[in-house]
Structure 1
């Protein structure tokens, strides 16, 4: 029984459906706010309201329609611009002759949800369609293209919905760079440049004025978030830091806006980049005015910077001096008059028109629900010329022009598809995908001379004006164009500023400064502050020997080895070459001492030569005495080779001459010492020693000892000779010009050989020190050798530890001291007797105490 009943019910249902098969649109029908029939219908979506009432759905009943609030005159202006373009095309005999364009324009209140709803209405229509057996519920789309929406986020949602249907959506003010992604939004086009260019232009503008420490505020939607993300990326590349980056939406609760105000107050940056649309800027200015937050330099996006309505709201002059990017100004003949002609708007829905008229003229119709006794009654014949509000303001003419170009782009695509010449081919079946393809390829000029075309991303060429808010005497803000930005030019020429005076925050003529840290001057380098952005740093002075010659250098460059940093550490200067010269006091004194010793030796030689026949001169082999005086002269003179700039010959000469002359000198002294000993031993009975050490043997001994030193010097010069050397290690800021020893073994061999002879001479003289005075000079030789050895023993540590030219001075001093010691100890006592005690210079006196006593 049950199966029979079920079959009966199914039969009844199927019969009733067969009788009433219809296609019904789900949801409530949406009526367009502006409507006109035509051969081809163009859709329009604008925000006639800027906000809506928030509600919480209980899911217990069907949600109520969105209740829009805050009438937005800008939406009406955009709609009027679209109607103006359509009327102009319909009246044209050149474009689409014989074809009339109609329109359906909807209000989406700036809401994403409502935008999707009215988009589906434009695509499907509200009519009930009877189903056909072959193609149930199918029909052509209602519109061939849609102009709008104003904001980026609704455009993204709308494009996502209509993308699969290939219905073109041409926006006049949606600038989010994300909409250039043709994989996600294949049917989206726009007549305003992408924020890809605007964000970079804003970063370049900020960098141009030297602002490296900024705050940023953005609309919390796709326009603000994507635009600020691109700005942040570019700013980092340009060395710009953001102290804070906050976002809000106009429907956010008041406490969130208050947090933003608190952040601004607590910040140290004086420049604020505002990537906001004009509706959110309205809210922000209202809050800023409450707290009287002046003194900040605002940098604005095209969403609000050229909006005179925003400027009119700024009664506290918070935004004075603001600078930013705007769409280039344009004048479209007849558009202003058409927009201000409100008659076409009277065809809108009754409620919307009443609200528009009452808000426009600040009056109330008698039948209006919101009428009060405090407002005058609307007559419907009010004169618009007496009204000054945002609807009569034409500061956004460039944006109206973008709407105008969008409509003309659709018309030119239709013109090409319909093969219009004098007439159009009405038999062509229009398809939105076909129109989309032709719109992408169009390239035409408007009557104002502007070229209209789209690149592969559906974007136009990116050109902006740089405008500056300059308040006038009557309190009205003048938007002064102070520069241009053209993304089609080379990178270094894209941003150009005109030679115009700019007004900055608080009407200042000086460019504001907004940096976390002052610039590091040349001579310093930047050191980042821990835990802070790269724009916050300390400036440390470059170390000695390092420089930085640019501002904000991150490193210091080390000077070459022959250069040193100057006092300011911003340039490398050639190091001072230091050597013992004749011009300085120490060099002059040593030179004088050397010459004095030479003269004194010559004077002694002269005395000895004059008294060469006297016993005291002849007593100890006068030839050795003259040879000793000659060698002492050479010793005094060889010290001069140590003074002056070292050269190859002077380096080789100074040490070899010193070594050979001193050996010659010590050899002579050694010979004299041996003569004293031999002379005493020869007086003893049976001694025959003097015949083995006569004058010839004495000369040969001197020659032999000296020859050994000559051989040592030749080997030294042959294997590894001394050479000029620049010593960079001794002093950081000086170059020590010195003679490198070449082979240290050679140097110490020369010095050691001199020391060996000196010690031998000292020992022999010490043995003969107690011989009778008149027979010898052994004790004077002992004393002179004692001085000689003491000088050269102390020379070694002094030479090693003395820096630079002082080591040379120590060596010269040792040469002079030992030479003077020999000269004074050996010859001065004899000169004293020769000159002052001539009575003692007799053979009898010399022999008086010299005879040995018999044992």
Structure 2
């Protein structure tokens, strides 16, 4: 006899006794009950069910009943198998069956068990509770010990997909033989070798145990054999996660210290503890189990015992239930007993509602005795489905549309003591009807772990977690919970343990060196304050001053032959253009604003086009002048300022038209370059249209090419002041600079792109200034004796 389950019988008797004393429920009607033991056996279950239906012998403890027994409902059984066996027979007679220890049948079986009412919550709540518990502690590598049979198969079929969905793997699945009697436990220990390998897996700290109450005794025997063979004793440590179907009926639970058990939610019922304390064998009649329970629990024998045990002391009847160890008997109402207690009240309230409805129809009151009539159990179904009331502890009792009682599962922590007793400590709850944030509650600080873990939260993973800065890399042929760790690729980070994939930082941040965090990028641009900006600005201003001095020198000596040669006005225009070229580079320095972005590229394109047009006009003027000296030449009319002015104006106007079209359609604007540099955000000017910018550069290159070509052809024409040779060198330098500019500009990032363009502007402008005007300045300033008409004629001759 499993003494602990005797409380189920007492809970039923206590509920019936309360109802029979309560004048507000079923007045003048006395409830009775019969209790049968199924012995965990199918044949006995069917036989006892038939006894309930057809035998007329009485079993009426604690009250006088003169009527023949009438079966109105059945409460039971403890296991799902027993409940289904009972339903096979009871279902034919449509007698309501309220189960208290098993879980609801599968969805497909709902029509088969129309008389089935479940006093326990839906088992899916427990499954999700297990999943959330594993996720809470980070246990991704867990073992399973599952009792054989339909219930175990259903448990695995339901739970395994949920495990995969939430990133948890089963390290192993061991089938535990289903044992109906304690006497048969030793016959199944031959499976020890199969279980030993699973129990010695040190990576698996969390093990889920599913079965019936005898399953835990079988597991204790297997672990004892393992410890005896390996001589490891108390070194064995696991966190056992035990499902609701299993109750602790062991006297020695040291190996299960720190276990986490899911139990049916219960509350302490008033006066039940007092009822247990007053229970005495000599004061209780009609209870066929009490004497056997008393002898088994207290190791004593009554004088009238049917099977007296030698060596046992005689029972006095004064023994106290509270003195029994917890594994033998609990004074607090367990979850199953609480469900039985509520089931009795559900039937009583349904009967009360049914009789009240009848009396109301007939205009009668509760002033006479009533007896149950045939077919009333069938009528009771409609009242059971709609029943709603608050029980004695204030909890609402009602069935949902699937005939399931709402409620929660309590999460209990098992704390064992040297005297072989244990204490259940409630450390959480699973309630699917609660708000999302309250569906599962776990108080981790209240949990007492197995002493082998030194009160540190156990770890149950296949391998060490991947630290931040790494990502999981799956191992071939292994489950997804077993993996290697690979560093995050360049430009990505992971800021948590065990991340499947690394990710990129926000655009305004970049990965740190260890790739486990992001650092804000610094905002940069080519400013006047930094050394590079100061250097470029100084060079631009220096060349501007030098160009101004050259211009002033030419204006001062404007009547000298060297200035008057090759079109004096064109020379002034070229010098002014070069001066503007040097100053236009300053538009590229500093933080780009709307106006700066709008002006700098068009200004650069138009000013440079004007400068190159002046050079082109100079060379073409020289070529035309010498060709016009030939007799009968038609080019005489083009000799003079008109040709030069036409070339400068037309070439500059084309570039100005391109820039105007550019500004009108897709003008440049300030922009942030987030991606070119890893650690910096560059404030730059977006050109708006790369095509238009390319057209401006291409047109400028075309002018430079024709200038170089015309100067190259005119380089050997006889003239003391012929600039063609110097223009050839200047345009060669100009073209070289801008040919190098294109690949350099495209391969440079950030503010250095601006630096490349400024350098190209300064270098090409300085090339024009130096190659064309340096020789003339040398003569004007250092060799003025060569700057006269006589010297010009003498050198020509």
Q: TM-score, normalised by structure 1?
A: 0.74
Distance in 2 separating the partners of 1:180 and 1:444 = 30
SS in 2 for 1:266: coil
CA distance in 1, matches of 2:613, 2:782: 32
Shift of residue 792 of structure 1? Answer: 0.6
Instruction: List per-residue Cα deviations over 1:517-570 (Å, max 9, x = no partner).
Output: 66777776655554544545556666556677787665666678x756444476
Distance 1:338 1:444, change over 3 A: farther
Q: Label 1:87 to 1:777 Cα distance change in 2 as closer, same or farther (>3 A).
A: closer
Which residue of the partner structure matches residue 40 of structure 2? 110
Following TM superposition, by how much is the alpha carbon of 1:157 offset from its aligned partner in structure 2, in angstroms?
1.1
Q: Structure 2 CA distance, aligned partners of 1:101 and 1:180?
A: 35
Is residue 715–residue 724 contact of structure 2 (8 Å, CA) maintained in 1?
yes
Aligned mates of 2:686, 2:419 — CA distance in 1: 81
User: Can you give the 5+ residue segments of structure 2 that lack an aligned partner in the other structure?
Assistant: 58-67, 180-186, 228-233, 360-364
Q: Which residue of 2 aligns with 1:756?
A: 706
Who is 1:388 aligned against? Answer: 324
> For residues 359-391 of structure 1, what are the alpha-carbon distances to aligned partners after superposition, in whole Å with 9 as ceiling and x for unaligned?
33435689999878xx52554546423963555
Q: 1:818 to 1:276 in 2, by over 3 A?
A: closer
Per-residue deviation at 1:688?
Answer: 11
Match in the other structure for 1:604: 550
Q: Secondary structure at the match of 1:661?
A: helix
Aligned partners of 1:323 and 1:467 also within 8 Å:
yes
- In structure 2, the residue matched to 1:183 is 111
- Indicate yes or no: 2:16 matched with 1:72: no
1:784-808 CA-to-partner distances (Å, cap 9, x unmatched) read: 4134224414632542453346666
Change (3 A) 1:668 1:783: closer
- Partners of 2:584 and 2:743 lie apart in 1 by 21
Give 1:122's match in structure 2, choosing from 52, 64, 71.
Answer: 52
**CA–CA distance in 2 between the matches of 1:354 and 1:819?**
117
Residue of structure 1 aligned with 2:658, choices 713, 716, 728: 716
Structure 2 contact 577–608 (Cα < 8 Å) conserved: no
1:404 equivalenced with 2:334 (yes/no)? no
Cα gap change, 1:601/1:459 in structure 2, threshold over 3 Å: closer, same or farther?
A: closer
Q: 1:843 to 1:222 in 2, by over 3 A?
A: closer
Does the CA contact (< 8 Å) of 1:200 and 1:230 recur in 2?
no
Once residues 117 and 569 of structure 1 are traced to their aligned partners in structure 2, the CA distance between those partners, rounded to angstroms, is: 68
Asked whether the equivalents of residues 122 and 142 of structure 1 are also in contact (C-alpha less than 8 Å), the reply is no
Q: Which residue of 2 aligns with 1:145?
A: 73
- The CA deviation at 1:115 is 1.0
Tell me, yes or no, if the aligned pair for 2:612 and 2:707 is still in contact at 8 Å. Answer: no
C-alpha distance in 1 between matches for 2:189 and 2:579: 104
Given candidates 312, 320, 327, the residue that maps to 2:265 is 327
Confirm whether residue 169 of structure 1 aligns to residue 97 of structure 2: yes
Aligned position for 1:247: 175
Which residue of the other structure, out of 190, 194, 203, is the alignment partner of 1:268?
Answer: 203
- Call closer, same or farther: CA 1:783–1:365 in 2, change over 3 Å: same
Match of 1:7 in 2: none
Partner of 2:721: 777
More deviation in 76-85 or 612-621? 612-621
Separation (CA, whole Å) in 2 of partners of 1:462 and 1:394:
23
The reply on whether 1:286 has 2:224 as its aligned counterpart is no
Deviation at 1:345, TM superposition (A): 7.8
1:491 lines up with 2:436 in the alignment: yes
Hey, what does 1:66 align to over in structure 2? none
For residue 662 of structure 1, the aligned residue among 599, 602, 612 is 612
Query: How far apart are 1:704 and its partner, in Å?
Result: 1.8
Alignment partner of 1:799 is 2:742: yes
Question: SS of the counterpart of 2:39?
Answer: coil
Distance 1:590 1:743, change over 3 A: closer
Aligned residues: 744
Matches within 5 A, 1:516-555: 516=462, 528-536=474-482
Question: Which residue number in structure 2 is paired with residue 299 of structure 1?
Answer: 241
- Aligned pairs for 1:132-531 (under 5 A) are 143-178=71-106, 181-251=109-179, 253-256=188-191, 258-266=193-201, 268-290=203-225, 291=227, 292=234, 294-304=236-246, 307=248, 309-310=249-250, 312-315=251-254, 317-320=255-258, 322-333=260-271, 336-337=275-276, 340-343=279-282, 358-363=295-300, 375-381=310-316, 383-385=318-320, 388-389=324-325, 391-414=328-351, 421-426=366-371, 428-429=373-374, 431-471=376-416, 476-497=421-442, 501-506=446-451, 508-516=454-462, 528-531=474-477
Provide the C-alpha distance between the structure 2 equivalents of 1:445 and 1:710, rounded to a whole number of angstroms: 96
Report the structure number with the largest CA radius of gyration.
Answer: 1
| Structure 1: stretches of 5+ with no match in the other structure | 1-70, 128-139
TM-score, normalised with respect to structure 2: 0.78
Q: In 2, Cα distance between the equivalents of 1:105 and 1:641?
A: 100
Query: Following the alignment from structure 2 to structure 1, what is the Cα–Cα distance between the partners of residues 530 and 733?
Result: 28
Q: Answer with 656-665 or 405-414: which moved more.
A: 405-414
Separation in 2 of the partners of 1:190 and 1:626? 105
Distance in 1 between residues matched to 2:390 and 2:771, nearest whole Å: 114
- Structure 1 residues 237 and 809 mapped into 2: Cα distance closer, same or farther (>3 Å)? closer
Question: Is the CA contact (8 Å cut-off) linking 2:427 and 2:447 kept in structure 1?
Answer: yes
Q: Secondary structure at the match of 1:713?
A: helix
Tell me the distance in 1 between the aligned counterparts of 2:372 and 2:344.
23
CA distance in 2, matches of 1:438, 1:806: 85
Aligned to 2:647: 705
Higher relative contact order (CA 8 A, sep 6+): 2
743-752 or 160-169, which moves further after superposition? 743-752
Deviation, structure 1 residue 763 = 1.7
Distance in 1 between the 2:756 and 2:444 partners? 70
